[in-house]
Amino acid sequence: MPQLKRTGSFCRRVRREFLWQSGAGFGAVALTSLLEKDGFFGNCSAAETAPATANPLAPKPPHFAPKAKSIIFLFMYGGPSHIDTFDYKPGMVGMDGKTTQVKTFGRGGHRNQGRIVEPRWKFKQYGECGKWVSELFPHLAGCVDDIAFLQSMTADSPIHGSAMLMMNSGRILSGSPALGSWVNYGLGTVNENLPGFVVMLDPTGGPISGAKNWSSGFMPAIYQGNVLKSQGSPLLDLQPPAQTGRAVQREILDTLRTMNQRHLADRADHHDLAARIASYELAYKMQEHAPESVDLTQEDAATLELYGVNQPKTQDFGRRCLLARRLVERGVRCVQLYSGGAHNDDNWDAHGDLEINHNKHAGATDQPIAALLKDLKRRGMLDSTLVVWGGEFGRQPTAEYQQGSGRDHNSYGFTMWMAGGGIQGGLTIGATDELGSAAVERPLHVKNLHATILQQLGLDPNRLAYFHGGLNQKLVGVEHIDPIREII
């Protein structure tokens, strides 16, 4: 039966049946069947009766043939200025300092006029498509024929807190699952040794609202984002304390398993007890596999160089981009990388000096992102990996303060881009007005972006639903939302 037809029913009823099935908790049965694959329960009678269908993380067939298997979301936290990066505004040249009538809405509230800050970087045309790119991105400019630029993005809020939530979960209020949670809920995981939704943060800190940005909201925590460190032990509490070590831990686990198995013997029908035994073995396996996935010594020198891992400026983001590729290679569904963290100029939030800010962040990310696209392409992975770039909003054409080049937030129009995963490259969709203050041609909403992402992953954005609070909740909301058809 095609998955398409099952969705509605799945979301309405089966979720609760997961919860209560055979008195076993959600996910309990699940793990038993995950471990079955490894023959772990070969000698355990409990697993034989475990229904394999109820595994919430088992790979699930998509609604229709997917273009992409994974997504890498490069989150430019703080909001990069579109008119200084990819949205070329030749008409603004020579207008610096002029006061103009333009409606803006940002952190500083609604304004009707402002002092123009001319784009601070020169633009050039690149690729066969002739895309104009500013000199902030010399490396990425070489990849424009693989990229579809969305130059008419809009969002519901120009304020970081709610705008971040919107970009990550589709709503300006907290409490809903993140995109990565939806993807894992819809497709399951193909590698139980790694979390299906991985978040890598900037060394300066998390984004505002922290874990709210990768929360699984009203879905079980099994779908939430897991913060993965790019250096040291990658996951929280992954390794035993130094004085214990893995050999001792194995002894502890063996004893624990023996005792738990004996306890299980006369409770053979209790799958959740069996699942808990299994979860310890899975944890042990993760100790082995998770560090391997972040071990860059397995990469050759040319690759490290490509990503800029050996240059101070690009070292951190390069490392994380390379890890993103390695994680996707290992079946992780959704990887989110934050460029920028914390506050002020630690991220793209250029309220003060635009040039210092954007030179810094573009400088740290340009080469790594280009490397990621090239590396994915040469390995034949770009077709199945959807790469998304953008912040929670863009920036205004006018100055925020009486002096200086800082720009306030702008959710009326900004640029994001997508590449790989079946996205047609070399395209530019939509346009903002001559100042870049608002989308005027083919306005796109964050929901359209989300719909496109789900669509490429083989999930129908208007059907992928989860019953909660009396409603079939969807990432794209209650109204029908179209993916961006021109680019797929």
Partner 1 sequence: MKLKFPMRQNPERLRTKYRAGRLVTWLSTGVLMLCVEPFLLVGAFGAGKVDFSKDIQPILARRCFACHGPDKHESNLRFDNRDSVIASAESGARAIVPKESSTSELIRRVSSEDDSIRMPPEGKALTEAEVSLLRRWIDEGAEFSAHWSFQPIRKPLPPVIDEDAWTRHPIDAFVLKQLRDQGLSPAEPARAEVLIRRAYLDVIGLPPSPETARELAASWSDATYERLIDQLLADPALGERWARNWLDVVRFAETNSFERDGGKPNAWKYRDYVIASFTSDKGYDEFIREQLAGDELDQVTPETLTATGFYRLGIWDDEPADPLQARFDEYDDIVSTAGQSFLALTFNCARCHDHKIDPITQKDYYSLVSFFRDVTSYASRSDQRENNQLSVSPKHLTENFERLTDQTKSITRELRRREQNAIAKMPAPDQRATEGPQRKRVLKEKLRQFMEDDDWTKYTSLQAELETAQAELRQLPPIEFVLGLAKCDPIPPTTHVLLRGNPHNPGPDVGPAFPTILGGGSPRVQPPADNARSAGRRRALADWIASPDNWLASRVIVNRIWQYYFGRGLVRSANNFGLMGDSPTHPEILDYLAQELVAHDWSLKAVHRAILLSSTYRMSSSSSADYQAKDPDNRLLSHQTVRRLSAEQLRDSILAVTGELNEQQFGESIYPTLSAEVLASQSRPGSGWGQSSPAEQARRSVYIHVKRSLPVPMLAAFDFPETDISCEARFLTTQPAQALGMLNSAWMQQQSQALANRVRREVGDRLESQARRMLELVQVRLPHAQDIADLLSLTSRLKEQHKLDDVSTSTAMALVALNLNEFAYID
Q: 193-232: which residues touch partner 1 (CB under 8 A)?
A: 201, 205-212, 215-218, 220-222, 226-227, 229
Residue among 264, 369, 370, 481 that touches partner 1 (CB under 8 A)? 264
CA gap 415, 397 in Å, rounded: 13
Tell me: does residue 96 bind partner 1 (CB under 8 A). no
CB of 380 to partner 1, least distance (A): 31
Residue among 113, 298, 310, 344 that touches partner 1 (CB under 8 A)? 344
Structure tokens at 155: 């969002």
CA gap 68, 47 in Å, rounded: 33
Nearest in space to 181 (alpha carbons), one of 334, 385, 329: 334
Tell me the C-alpha to C-alpha distance, in Å, between residue 392 and each of 169, 402, 445. Answer: 11, 25, 12
CA gap 367, 330 in Å, rounded: 23
Tell me: does residue 459 bind partner 1 (CB under 8 A). no
Stretch that binds partner 1, among 243-251, 376-384, 422-430, 450-458 (CB under 8 A): 243-251
- Strands 197-200, 147-154: pairing is unpaired
Nearer to partner 1, 89 or 212 (CB): 212
Nearer to partner 1, 404 or 443 (CB): 404
Size of the site for partner 1 (CB under 8 A): 115
Residue among 53, 99, 125, 258 that touches partner 1 (CB under 8 A)? 258
Are the beta carbons of 481 and 461 closer than 8 angstroms?
yes
Tell me: does residue 243 bind partner 1 (CB under 8 A). yes
CB of 328 to partner 1, least distance (A): 21
Nearer to partner 1, 83 or 371 (CB): 83
- Strands 407-410, 131-134: pairing is unpaired
CB of 294 to partner 1, least distance (A): 14
Largest CA distance in the chain: 83
Nearer to partner 1, 165 or 306 (CB): 165
CB of 49 to partner 1, least distance (A): 8
Nearest in space to 340 (alpha carbons), one of 375, 324, 322, 316: 316
Residue among 52, 142, 145, 239 that touches partner 1 (CB under 8 A)? 239
CA gap 218, 166 in Å, rounded: 16
Q: Is 230 helix (H, G, I), strand (E, B) or coil?
A: coil
Count of C-beta atoms within a 10 Å radius of residue 206:
18
Residue among 9, 43, 101, 112 that touches partner 1 (CB under 8 A)? 9
Residue among 259, 298, 378, 486 that touches partner 1 (CB under 8 A)? 259
Residue among 294, 342, 451, 457 that touches partner 1 (CB under 8 A)? 342
* Phi/psi-derived region of residue 189, left when phi > 0, alpha when psi is between -120 and 50, beta in every other case: beta
Stretch that binds partner 1, among 270-278, 323-331, 364-372, 446-454 (CB under 8 A): 270-278
List the Cα angle 6/9/13 in 5-degree steps.
Answer: 140
Q: Is 396 helix (H, G, I), strand (E, B) or coil?
A: strand
Tell me: does residue 30 bind partner 1 (CB under 8 A). yes
Residue among 363, 404, 426, 443 that touches partner 1 (CB under 8 A)? 404
Site for partner 1 in 44-73 (CB under 8 A): none
Q: Please name the helix (run of DSSP H) or strand (run of DSSP E) that holds residue 73, with its range, or none.
A: strand 70-76
Stretch that binds partner 1, among 95-103, 364-372, 399-407, 441-449 (CB under 8 A): 399-407
Residue among 43, 112, 297, 403 that touches partner 1 (CB under 8 A)? 403
CA gap 175, 168 in Å, rounded: 11
Nearest in space to 326 (alpha carbons), one of 290, 353, 350: 290
Residue among 249, 303, 315, 359 that touches partner 1 (CB under 8 A)? 249
Count of C-beta atoms within a 10 Å radius of residue 257:
15
Token pair 């790694």 in the structure block, residue: 194
Phi, psi of 307 (to 5 degrees): -80, -5
Site for partner 1 in 277-306 (CB under 8 A): 277-280, 282-283, 286
Stretch that binds partner 1, among 64-72, 276-284, 310-318, 321-329 (CB under 8 A): 276-284
Q: What one-letter code names the amino acid at 238?
A: L
Q: What one-letter code names the amino acid at 344?
A: N
Tell me: does residue 6 bind partner 1 (CB under 8 A). yes
Nearer to partner 1, 138 or 341 (CB): 341
Tell me: does residue 471 bind partner 1 (CB under 8 A). yes
Stretch that binds partner 1, among 127-135, 394-402, 420-428, 446-454 (CB under 8 A): 394-402
Residue among 238, 381, 431, 488 that touches partner 1 (CB under 8 A)? 238
Q: Is 323 helix (H, G, I), strand (E, B) or coil?
A: helix
Task: Print the binding letters for residues 141-170 with partner 1: x by CB under 8 A, - otherwise.
Answer: ---------------xxxxxxxxxx-----
CA gap 399, 250 in Å, rounded: 61
CB of 225 to partner 1, least distance (A): 10
Residue among 65, 173, 301, 302 that touches partner 1 (CB under 8 A)? 173
Are the beta carbons of 354 and 78 closer than 8 angstroms?
no
